[in-house]
Amino acid sequence: MKAVIQRVKEASVSVEGKIVSQINQGLLVLACVEKGDDEKIVDWMADKVINLRIFPDQQGKFNLSLKDLNGEILLISNFTVCGHLKKGTRPSFHLAEEPTKAEATLRLLAEKIRQKGLMVKEGIFGAHMEIFLVNDGPVTIVLEKTKPSKEG
């Protein structure tokens, strides 16, 4: 599983010109499920996302997490995060999980985060989405967890 995480002051996602989800201060998470991702990887990702210390404390240091601020998450399915560019200039998406399994895995990720007490809002899986965000910083983190057989 891979995710591009952006610290935001606000974010929203629209489908066909209508806002379907929006958040205030928190994290915009663009996530891709890779083939073979399992519940252990989902647990790891949920824990990392809510505990990332990328919000400033009173001294301006990255010491606070989303959990500390009671912030929100906008979780967006984005298979292009799994794009592979080892050869050529057109990305390959062969590592991305097939849609039915990917959707179920992302729903599990959202549920695991909710179980930890945070608000998660989502986009529409498989839809063409337009995302509006006010990036805070900017602060952008790439987070990745793969099974050992895929690393290297």
> Domains of the chain: which residue ranges?
2-145
Q: Which of 145, 98, 95 lies closest to 126 in space, CA to CA?
A: 98
Under CATH, which architecture does the 2-145 domain have?
Answer: 3-Layer(bba) Sandwich (3.50)
- pLDDT value of residue 148: 64
Packing angle, helices 99-115 and 39-51, rounded to 10: 50
Q: Are 50 and 66 in contact, with CB atoms under 8 Å apart?
A: yes
Spatial separation of the C-alpha atoms in residues 71 and 55, rounded to whole Å: 10
- pLDDT value of residue 146: 79
Phi, psi of 149 (to 5 degrees): -70, -20
Q: What is this structure's pTM?
A: 0.93
- pLDDT value of residue 151: 45
Q: Give per-residue pLDDT as tens, 53-76.
A: 999 999 999 999 999 999 999 999
- pLDDT value of residue 60: 94
- Residue ranges in the chain whose pLDDT is less than 50: 150-152
